[in-house]
Amino acid sequence: MEELSAKKNDMEVPSIAVDSMPKTRDYQQEMLDASLKENIIIAQDTGSGKTLIAILRMRYEIERGSQKVSWFLAPTVALCNQQHSVIKDNMQVPVGLIHGALEPKQWTDITLWKRVLENNRVIVSTPQVLLDALSHGYVHMGLDIGLLVFDEAHHADRNHPMSCIMRDFYFSIPPRLPAASGPSVSTKDERPMILGLTASPMFGGNATVAFRKLESNLDCVIRSPRANRDELLTHVHRPIFRHVRYDTPQYLDHSYTSKNLSAVEAVIATMNIEEDPFVIELRQKLAKTARGTEYTRMDQKLSKAIQSKKTYSHGGMNDLVNAGKAICYDIGPWAADWYIRSVVSRALDKQTPWDELIGSLQPKEKTYLMKHLSQIELASLSYDPTDIEAGITDKVRVLLETLEYEKDWSESSNEPYSGLIFITRRDGVLALSEVLRNHPRSAHFRLGCLLGSSQSSYRNTFLDITRTLLKDQPQADILEGFRSGDRNLIVATSVAEEGLDIQACGNVIRWDIPDNMASWAQSRGRARRKRSSFVLMFESTGIDNARVAEFENLEAQMTALYQADRASRPAVSSDEEVPDPDEPVFKVKSTGAVLTPLLAVSHLNHFCAVIPNSINLPIYDIDPPDMPEGWHSFDPVKRVVPPPYPGPFGCTVTLPRRLPAELRTFSVDRMYPTKQSAYRHVAYKAYLALYHANLLSDHLLPLTSVIEPDLEEEVKNLLKDVEKRSSMASVTSQMNPWQDEMTNTAWTVTRMIIPGFSPIRMLTRVDLPSFAAGEAPVLYHPSKGRIDVELQAQGVARHSASELKAAHESTRRLFWCLYGIRMQWDKFDFSYLFEPAEEDPERDLWDARRRWLRDFQGEESSGDDLFANAATFGQAFSHPADITWIRDGFPHGKVYRFLGWRHDPLSEEESQDFMARYSKMPETEITYPLLHVEELPQRRNFLQPLLSISDAPLRRSFLPPQSSRVVLLSHVQCDHAILIPSIIRHISIAATAVSLRGSLLTGTPLYHIPFSNLITAITAPVAQGHVNYQRLETLGDAVLKFVVSMHLIATYPFWHEGYLTRRKDHAVSNSRLAKEAIRLSLYKWIVRDRFAPRKFKPQYFTMGETEITEDVVAGDSSQGTPKAPEDLSTKMLADVAEALIGAAFLHGGYNLSIECTRLFDLGIGVKAGWQPLEVYIEKALSCVETAEVPTPMTDIERMLGYTFTHKLLLVEAITHASYQFDLRTVSYERMEFLGDSVLDMVITDHLYHYPGKQFTPGQMHIRKSAVVNMHFLTYICFKCSLEKDASLPRPTRNGIVMDEETQQISLYQCLLHSSPLVIDQQRATLARYRKMKDEIEEALLHGRTFPWAALTRLQAPKFFSDMIESIIGAVYIDSRGNMDVVRQVLRKLGIIQQLERNLKDNVDVLHPLTRVHIWAARQQKELTSAFEEERGHVTCTITVEGREPVQATAEKRGRASQEEARFAAAEKAIQLWDIRANDGIKDA
């Protein structure tokens, strides 16, 4: 292939231009032409350019206009990467690469696969990737693929993915005409063309049969160049074949050993399998296990462990000895000593990352193994050349001689030496490499090792530790170094045999004779130089000669078959293996996804693997069992291993407990010839049942993987990741009730009665809402207190034109006196008009004064007749005392209340104050009379409630009349001018709420939600009104999560907690709520404009110079003014939706809140629908059996103070996923899912209605967090207990008497499980609980600060708190949704009491980490936390800009350790960064 990117020329291919194609040789052109006519497998030696032919064939598919992809399959990831690079460099279109490392199983969006197929004309992948894509219906063989290329095609045998692709998906579709038959491009469903590439079409056996089988599997004929074979042979450079002989190893000489090998054997001789902790623990568990499935499974496991001695410890030691023996006999005692010393030393080295190597090994097993490893008396290793030479076998000496000869032979032709040594065993590679590195005769070789990464037979065993022996030699670097010449000798396993492009190699040495024909051809093909050699090492006894002769004979047979005229479509003979016609196949018509027994095993593993928090894979129990029951208990002398059972076999598969009982266990009868067949058929049966139970998508994938963009399709959208919401949504601005709701041109009249003030009439051209009791404006006056305004609708105005004009002028005067700076005097087409409702006794007087001002100003008047110079006015009207307001300056100076005229001279102090006030105006003189004035109250927003009525005096002063203005309004008009903006604001918001009710809520029970709650729900905090939605949103959030959880629990009885949680998160996400709010145009009714009375500007009918036009607002049929788009936070949209749900809950409970949730839909869909809570509860109860339960259930009921009607609900609530016995219930996760939302609902409701408090959302959150966090609930799980009578009889002189004694049983002890890990975690947590109990209890009962530190140090696993929440969920269902019963149980548990104590005594419950985060946010600094794990400890580092980072460390015990470390770091940060308890933290 080295010529692929070097030479380019023209060649003839039917009907295509190929100017840019690489140059081809005649034999390559011959194979290309053949591939255009029929399906063929090209059989050519390695290095003959098979990949080039495939590239040309794929280019032909592209350039003839095919709309289907060419799919290139290579058996390994390394080959995929290599071939992708070559193909991409020689292709004029995008080339895609897909392999398992890219996790294509997660590519579960059909649109994603469509994009891959559309964007890439060529795709390179491993066969398993394509098989999975075909089986799930994401790729259709006949519609999507035009050409299928199989690299290393000899793998297409039996159940290899290559063979499965053809058998399950190719032969079932119609054949097509060969590509060369015409230029037409087909897009119909038909078989793709097939092209296979191989250096050896067979592994061994009869060549004719092997050829026929491979041809049948791939629907091809095997071809090799015939017309141009001579040319092929001139380019292949087949290496010179040589062989060397070595003396036979001393296999039968038991004295031939190494010191370290003998030391290991001596230790093994002292080991007793019965003392292995794994066996001991199995015996203990078996003794406690009731007879049943789990007992049988454990019994078999124990017998097999004793019979095979393949526990981790015994198996590891035996593996070490076996590896040492093999190395000793094959390479020599020195190598065996080195290997054993290296492995044992590495295992005993504390720096070795044991956690990465020993997997789930229990501490006792590790201790047991380490104890025996430490007993091995390791001999020191000499690197003296004499000692190394004395410690190697004759085989190594012959290898050294061969290397020296091959090096001289290469260099004699002026070529640098480069060689590959192939060894079968991984440990042999390590040991031989060490010998070659240190032997003086190999000093001139630059050595490297290639081991591969996934083929180790030691994976998950003790010898897996050998992976660390090469950690400083990255395999990619070794390979690159060999290509570049930095290394000239590589010792490798079969990883380098197949396909890897190592073109520089001139010498290949096989340390072991190849296992099969393919290995022979592949390893020989690595010798790629024009002058190269292939060396086999034979035993001197000649036992390997026959194997070599067999390979040479097969190669001759293959060559003869290449040359023969062969049928283009081979027929299958009667003696070949034919697929079972009864093999079941299930196909989903809508997607084309296919299920077969072979595919079912991996599919079922994947299904179980994606169940959240589940560590269980399917458990297969073969029928009959392999060992007699109780074999492990037989007398060791009489233990006889039974002969293998020949079949037939049956099988039972058990799935994780999170699935319901009817979907947990499946069996097939004894009818299958092999165990593997029984496994596959029972997996097929189970997976098909999961599909029919709607736990799989139509692509036959778990629903947790379904990620679809369409929000309206329930199943496709089921567990779509919660959308990352766009932070802003473009919507129209909020409605203007004075214009949007304008229905006619007639004016209507509303009379306003304002106690303590004169009534006034309001004229509008919109229908104002009818204000019921409690809905009209309430004003809070600084001196008069609460004022309940009454609004009386008086129908259509009967005003004449002159009366309307007077009303316009009156309205202008009212607004101009205070807000004229933001008005135009000549513009008075107001949206509302105001006029006196009763005769103002001062009206005529002030009309006359305004006429005087107009006459006085004459033609210089600007039209403003409201502000008269005070000095002129006083002289004209004899300094009258009925003035109300004075302005300091003109035209819009500060307004004061007039007190009187000051004719008497000022006192000295008053004079000084006056002059200081006008110090910047030195020409100002004190002339009498002066104006005596008082500041107006600061308060202008009269909608905000007063904390108290103030009688504090306002500041008084004196103003010079010459520079002051009298406001020419009566006292009544001034009162109205200052109150009207607040009244207008209330009416605006009320009209908005009425519009919402009339548009969205009409015809639903929601219509009757109280007006005040609606107003609260739609008022955003940014509006700075006297109410806002924040508290309602917090309540609504809890209600929404609860009703959605209840809906899911009832509607989907088969769903496990993972499905339920993801579906709930999707339904209640801010993104979902915001989208639904936009759909309903809810943004129109959100009050978010800030009310600032001092900046008040009246509403007009016209905007600038433009008349108001009617337009239709998007999504709304009402008429109104055009609105400019504005950016609105999607969180605000979601918050208002939740606030409306909260308002519905306050008025009508859960069922009305469900009605409100129905309004927003939330993707639940019509099919599932929303139902009343009672219906959900009955649905949930209908799935619960009535059954007797063990006595311990009664003890739990006494702890809870509640007796269950449906006992199995309680059983479910305390059943861990590991429990293997009672199969009547699932594990507790579903109940925990519900209980979490029930607990959240109860606590939030309690805080919302707590008497005497109006907690903010932040305050509610931190107070709720204190009693619902996993640490506190764990404490409750331990604290909740029962005293049980444990009296025992004892003998005395007077006879037998009872020793009175009680025993305390805690709730956590009632957990049903079958896990030793849970037992260990319970014990460890109990020890920490006993240590911290008194400190926690004292703080909870009497402390001023919540004991976060002590609770966190419990380091409890999550299942403790899960147990509490699951019990709460079970109580709720069993009590038929009675929240009072739930509250009683919470009180019995002590949760409610602790909440009330925290509230009553104002306990500081803010978590230190939250305190630090809030402090950082107030400082506008980013805070980060990071974890590091080292030597069994977890360290948390908290960093914030401008401060020294702080660290804290905790002992590693899982995720709980991270929490402890983070908590400790936060506490340290509070101290070091001087964060005070109230440092800017209002919500605390």
Catalytic residues: 1037, 1138
Amino acid at position 15, single letter: S
**CB 1244, CB 1343: distance < 8 Å:** no
Q: Which residues of 641-657 are buried (b: 16+ CB within 10 A; e: fewer)?
A: eeeeeeeebbbbbbbbb
Q: How far apart are CA 283 and CA 302, in angstroms?
A: 7
Among 353, 352, 343, 354, smallest CA distance to 376 is for 343
Please, what is the angle between helix 1379-1389 and helix 1229-1248, to 10°? 90
Amino acid at position 1311, single letter: L
Q: How far apart are CA 61 and CA 72, in angstroms?
A: 13
Q: How far apart are CA 1406 and CA 1395, in angstroms?
A: 13
Q: How far apart are CA 1405 and CA 1398, in angstroms?
A: 8
**CB 746, CB 765: distance < 8 Å:** yes
Q: How far apart are CA 1482 and CA 564, in angstroms?
A: 91
**CB 1414, CB 1481: distance < 8 Å:** yes
Amino acid at position 188, single letter: K
Among 386, 505, 370, smallest CA distance to 448 is for 505
Amino acid at position 983, single letter: I
Q: How far apart are CA 1128 and CA 1151, in angstroms?
A: 30
Bridge-based pairing state of the strands 145-151 and 193-198: parallel
**CB 595, CB 700: distance < 8 Å:** yes
Report which secondary-structure segment, H or E, holds 745.
Answer: none
Report which secondary-structure segment, H or E, holds 240.
Answer: strand 240-246
Q: How far apart are CA 515 and CA 497, in angstroms?
A: 12
Burial-class residue 963 by CB neighbours within 10 Å (0-12, 13-18, 19+). middle
For the chain, the helix, strand and coil percentages under 3-state DSSP, each to the nearest 5: 45, 15, 40
Cis peptide before 1125 (omega within 30 of 0): no
Q: How far apart are CA 69 and CA 501, in angstroms?
A: 26
**CB 474, CB 435: distance < 8 Å:** no
DSSP-derived letter for residue 166 is I
From residue 717, alpha-carbon distances to 689, 712, 817, 1059 in Å are 22, 7, 60, 12
Q: How many residues does this entry show for the chain?
A: 1484
Burial-class residue 1437 by CB neighbours within 10 Å (0-12, 13-18, 19+). middle
> Taking the CB of residue 428, how many other CB atoms lie within 10 A of it?
22
Among 1058, 1045, 1066, smallest CA distance to 1180 is for 1045
1021: its two tokens: 């905090």
Three-state DSSP at 76 gives coil
Q: How far apart are CA 489 and CA 453, in angstroms?
A: 20
DSSP-assigned letters across all residues of 825-889: TT---BSEEEEESS--TTHHHHHHHHHHHHHHHGGG--S--SEEEHHHHHHHHTS-S---EEEES
Q: How far apart are CA 1017 and CA 103, in angstroms?
A: 46
Among 623, 674, 626, 630, smallest CA distance to 652 is for 623
Among 1097, 1153, 1405, 1050, smallest CA distance to 1259 is for 1405
